[in-house]
Chains A and B, each alone.
Chain A
Amino acid sequence: MLGDWSTDILQHDPMRIYRAKRDAARRTVTSKYNIIGFISSGTYGRVYKAQSLDDEGKIHAIKKFKPDKEGDVVTYTGISQSAIREIALNREIDHENIVALKEVILEDKSIYMVFEYAEHDFLQVIHHHSQTLRSPISTAFLKSLIYQLFNGLVYLHSCHILHRDLKPANILITSSGVVKIGDLGLARLIYEPLQPLFAGDKVVVTIWYRAPELLMGAKHYNKAIDCWAVGCVMAELASLRPIFKGEEAKLDSKKNVPFQRDQLLKIFEVLGTPDEKDWPGVVDMPEYQNMKRLDPFSNRLSDWCQSRIRTPSGYELLRELFAYDPDNRLTAKDALQHKWFYEDPKPTWNAFQSVPAHQIPPHRRITQDEAPSMMPQPAQNTSHQASFASLSGGGPYGQATGGNGTHAPSRKKARMH
């Protein structure tokens, strides 16, 4: 009674009708956005600058997650944990100082996250001051940046989210001077985790911003790791170079996390070697014996701050953020109340308010050559063709992509990262 076609659907591709419906309804990235150019590629994907075609022509940053690869064929091994995290968390949060996710588009094997656009980031500000202006960041500007950063972090922490990858490149600033924490790809909910955080990701936080408890091999960690990272970011803005610029010891072949000797030394050189008085828990740290073999140092943070932070309260803030004992480290919430922020010059909601126009960092650089490679198919394809083409063969994932030669070279390049 059922035709071959029906039997075939039931037995071999039962979701065919479902997909056809969905594909027909789906709006493509290029039907909604005009891709202006390529911004950058990160660990997990590539970021493009795009203009919305409907929404008053607003500018956005579109992050395209790298599709997975098996050998040379782009295929599906499932959405990465990092993408799931970033999507799941971003869908729930909403705060002035966190980069807002506008929408997620799932199209032709790729995930596109559409974010509000931020013209600058902390790293770029640092470069601008060290390379172009060759002068330090003013206290008013510095304070506004750090204050807003803490303001966003308080929100994340109140949501029980650890960012776990705070560093200058991930902290953005809009052209109107609003700080936006970005890249939640490593962020995690720590509310009632089903397994210890340690079990999930062995290494978190870029080495220069990594808190001592992580470097010492702690199995448990908490919000304090983000506050340490903010301390590092603040010091870097003040001095225009990373304060603890250590060499990362790489994972060995068995993926064991090695002792991060150099990074710890860089920290000890400024903050002194921690003792039980500063940090009672240090003796229980897995790397304690390794640490004891290092040469002892004494704390000279005060000297370090003399020429760079310039005010006693600024030094105080940094000192409290660099508390060795995570339980004694200043929380983001308490940081917002810190004296430093209540002294003149006070922080401003437009961080650029006090910055002379000629000192404002330049616009984000974008390149053109990569832009066309974003989409597997030009948008001009009729949508029906595009959608229903996927019904042939083994569906959209059964075919090797890239058979179409038009954009082949640049696409290949696009996936090399």
Chain B
Amino acid sequence: MATDFWASSHYKRWLVDRATLKQARADDLQYVDDPDYLDFLAIYFANVISKLGKKLQLRQRAIATATVFFRRFYLKNSYCETDPFIVISACCYVAAKAEESPIHIKNIVAESRSLFSQENYGIKHFPSDHTKLAEMEFYLVDDLECDLTVFHPYRTLLSLCRKEAADTASLFGSEEGEADEAGVGISGDDGPRYWGTGEGQLELSEGALQTVWFIINDTYRSDLCLLHPPHIIAIAALYLTFILHQPTRDTILPQIAAQNHPNHQPETPQESTPQPRRSSRQANHHHTAVEPPKKPQDPITFLAELNVSLPLVATVAQEIISLYTLWDRYKEDAGPDAPRSSKDAANSPFSGSTGGGGAGSGSVRGSVSPAKRSVTGSSRSASNAGTPMDVGEEPVEGWNEEEYVTPVMLSALLLRMRESRLADMSHPASGRPVAVNKMLERTQAAG
């Protein structure tokens, strides 16, 4: 099971289609003006989980598992009828156990209280009584149908790619445990199913690997983990790293150029405007003198030879870009004068600070986004505006700088949603179904 995704509960029960997702948000949709807000909430909640997870010193994989639990829970429930904050705490609590790094419930309660009481969340009533959280855990596990083993794209990444230098470094070495069981070279059991050609692992620079890793982190800000198998997400992240992200492209391309078979030249580093990915051929003449090495490793060829649907990978990549486009309108810090990219830069693998001591929790948001605005206000054409995949047509158009969506706004929105829902439920005139009112009467009588 650990190696066989195709036999897993994740594959069998927890991948859904867009229609199911839409249905799951139908109640919430009634209480927001713009459906985009639901996607902002998805970012917002993932950020809260990530923050709580870091306070609890959870590893990135456990944070990812908590996030998946949260998404699965809200396949069956509505934000407006629940308290997402206690759900978040319970998700972290269960994920820590499911990932074999348990945390005492009292710590979770304490850290949750301190985090959620911060101004931007405004939760004054997080229960101090840990039995409340334990109770939520119980219901959560039930709603998760006891499926607590989650697969993540990180593993595919580690199976597909290898860092150039043989030594294991912070980011990847830290994921290894028992020497003979984990390791980076785990292409063994689950390989052939989707990386057919036996080409072996792709060598990437530390920076490139980190970028993929961070893009994967970022995907948890959306519902992608419910829609696509993790290996597809990993490959899409890899794909984005190759063709979209400028600094990575700069780092990996000279190496590719040096190694490449003449027929598989990708675009040169000089091309700052993204091209269709096979534009590579135009640049062939630059490198014709290069001797083909014994084992050519053209990343694009490598991807093409994987036994996965490339159109699907492209779709997922496009969805990731859409996420970045949306995320660009979201601002974590409420302070209106804060330079908006500084925070992102701290998270970026290219800022020199890898943050978290290699815990691998960073993001590339702001580095990858096609809608990236630089602090200095230079024109967008200088950054990676537009992508080879034709997404985000002028995403910032008409979006006023003052109109960033912030946690404060979303916290208020969430509260309004929940209040309106309750109001609707307690006033038959609003046309709520009778069944709900019946149930409500009973809860009222009992409560």
Contact = CB atoms under 8 A, between A and B. Distances in A.
Nearest to B155: A192
Main secondary structure of the interface of B (DSSP, over half): helix
A24 B175 CA distance: 43
B182 A191 contact: yes
B77 A18 contact: yes
B439 A2 contact: no
Contacts of B9: 91-92
B289 to A, nearest CB: 43
A84 B98 contact: yes
A232 B9 CA distance: 34
Interface string A25-57: 010000000000000000000000000000000
A338 interface: no
B137 A79 contact: yes
Contact of B177 (A11, A24, A197, A396): A197
A64 to B, nearest CB: 14
Q: Which of A2, A6, A76, A85 counts the most chain B CB atoms within 10 A?
A: A76
B97 A79 contact: yes
A15 B180 contact: no
A397 B135 contact: yes
Given A16-B443, A88-B98, A76 B131 contact: yes
A398 B283 CA distance: 71
B98 A18 contact: no
B178 A391 contact: no
Interface string A10-24: 111111111111101
B43 interface: no
Given A77-B134, A104-B146, A159-B3, A197 B178 contact: yes
B418 to A, nearest CB: 6
Interface string B428-447: 00000000000110111111
Contacts, number: 197
Contact of B105 (A3, A77, A397): A77
B82 A18 contact: yes
A370 B142 CA distance: 27
B96 to A, nearest CB: 9
Contacts of A283: none
A1 B423 CA distance: 8
Contacts of A194: 59, 61-62, 99-101, 175, 177
B446 A10 contact: no
Given A2-B423, A84-B97, A109-B138, A15 B83 contact: yes
A222 B180 contact: yes
B83 A14 contact: yes
Interface in B302-335: none
26 contacts: A5-B444, A10-B415, A14-B82, A14-B125, A17-B439, A20-B439, A75-B134, A76-B130, A76-B137, A77-B130, A78-B134, A84-B94, A91-B149, A106-B138, A161-B1, A161-B2, A189-B2, A192-B158, A194-B59, A194-B99, A194-B100, A200-B100, A388-B442, A389-B446, A392-B447, A395-B132
Interface of A: 1-3, 5-6, 8-22, 24, 26, 75-79, 81, 84-85, 87-89, 91-94, 104, 106, 109, 158-161, 188-197, 200, 220-222, 384, 388-389, 391-392, 394-398
Interface of B: 1-4, 7-9, 59, 61-62, 77, 81-83, 86, 93-94, 97-102, 105, 124-125, 129-139, 141-143, 145-149, 155, 158, 175-182, 186, 189, 415, 418-419, 422-423, 425-426, 439-440, 442-447
Task: List the 6 closest A-B pairs by CB distance, nearest first.
Answer: A76-B134, A14-B83, A193-B177, A391-B446, A88-B148, A160-B2
